[in-house]
Amino acid sequence: MMRKPIIVGNWKMNNTKKSAKLLLEELNALLKDSAAEVVVCVPYTILDYVSTLIKGTNIKLGAQNVAWADKGAFTGEISAEMLVELGVEYVIIGHSERRQMFNETDLSVNKKTIQALKNNLKPIVCVGETLHERKCKITEAVVKTQMEGAFDNINAADFKNIVIAYEPIWAIGTGKTATADEAQETIKFIRSVVASLYNKELADAVRIQYGGSMNGANAKELMSKSDIDGGLIGGASLTAIDFSKVVNY
Ligand code: PGA
């Protein structure tokens, strides 16, 4: 099964118009012939601006969160419809920073994923264990529970539009990458969970990324693993040279 690699830059709460413009100009020059699908998930405030900057390039637009409701009295929230209007194609859902600092749960992740799918946004659903959970050897149980929660009531036809990001929390922003074997092992497990929740065909087709201190130096080894189909890149997505090295691994 050939799955097209997908490299996603998660800018988190970084960049204003000025720095975004510089970064994207550099990036565009470096990514002209990339074989992978490339997405940048940028802050809400510059989605509109970045959408005009990347027109005609092979960089796609993503957001970092979405509301689970359609519209109405939800102060401070941004709806899927609003994102789509700005040309957003992908949305990160359930990033561990949102789970840990902004009270997101498997239930809210599920509701947001359903909402994204309903509006034709492609969800990048994040799962991953803490260091304590890994030490207790419950990584697989944790990730399975997160997946069962996230994909509850989502049918196979809709699931086709989902990308999964496996991000061990202890590897995010720490410079401590999971070894390629560790990442492969868990991602293979994640694929088997998709097979049990849906079927083998979907399990073979779903793209599963690794995320957590992935960079130009370790991308090649991670991407050489049979079940790893891409990366969700934080720190290294903020400089053109680093991000392009990951994309052009
Ligand atoms: P990092 O972040 O690459 O800086 O570790 C990854 C992420 O949080 O998606």
Compute the C-alpha angle 141/146/149, nearest 5°: 125
CA distance 137 to 73: 42
3-state secondary structure of 211: strand
Computed over every residue of the chain, the mean pLDDT equals 96
CA distance 217 to 91: 26
> For residue 235, how far is its CA from the centre of ligand 1 (angstroms)?
6
149 CB neighbour count, 10 Å cutoff: 17
The CA distances from residue 64 to 119, 185, 215, in Å, are 16, 27, 20
Per residue in 136-185, pLDDT (tens digit) is 999 999 999 999 999 999 999 999 999 999 999 999 988 888 899 999 99
- Residues 57-67, mean pLDDT to the nearest whole number: 97
On the question of pLDDT at 49 being above 90, the answer is yes
> For residue 172, how far is its CA from the centre of ligand 1 (angstroms)?
5
Q: Which residues of 180-198 are buried (b: 16+ CB within 10 A; e: fewer)?
A: beebbbbbebbbebbeebb
On the question of pLDDT at 18 being above 70, the answer is yes
Q: What pLDDT is recorded for position 1? A: 65
10 touches ligand 1 (CB under 6 Å): yes
Query: Token pair for residue 126?
Result: 């994040």
CB-CB contact of 202 with 160 (8 Å): yes
Per residue in 83-120, pLDDT (tens digit) is 999 999 999 999 999 999 999 999 999 999 999 999 99
> For residue 177, how far is its CA from the centre of ligand 1 (angstroms)?
10
- Residues 64-73, mean pLDDT to the nearest whole number: 98
Residue 167 annotated to the active site = yes
- Find tokens 């561990």 and name the residue: 96
3-state secondary structure of 208: strand
CA distance 101 to 94: 11
Q: What pLDDT is recorded for position 174? A: 86
CB-CB contact of 179 with 156 (8 Å): no
Q: What pLDDT is recorded for position 177? A: 84
CA distance 142 to 169: 12
CB-CB contact of 98 with 104 (8 Å): yes
CA distance 71 to 80: 9
3-state secondary structure of 231: strand
171 CB neighbour count, 10 Å cutoff: 22
Closest residue by Cα to residue 228 from 220, 236, 240? 220
On the question of pLDDT at 205 being above 70, the answer is yes
Q: What pLDDT is recorded for position 25? A: 96
Per residue in 118-140, pLDDT (tens digit) is 999 999 999 999 999 999 999 99
Per residue in 31-47, pLDDT (tens digit) is 988 889 999 999 999 99
Longest Cα separation, the chain: 48
Query: Token pair for residue 170?
Result: 């202890």
Question: Which residue's CA lies nearest to atom 6 of ligand 1?
Answer: 234
215 touches ligand 1 (CB under 6 Å): no
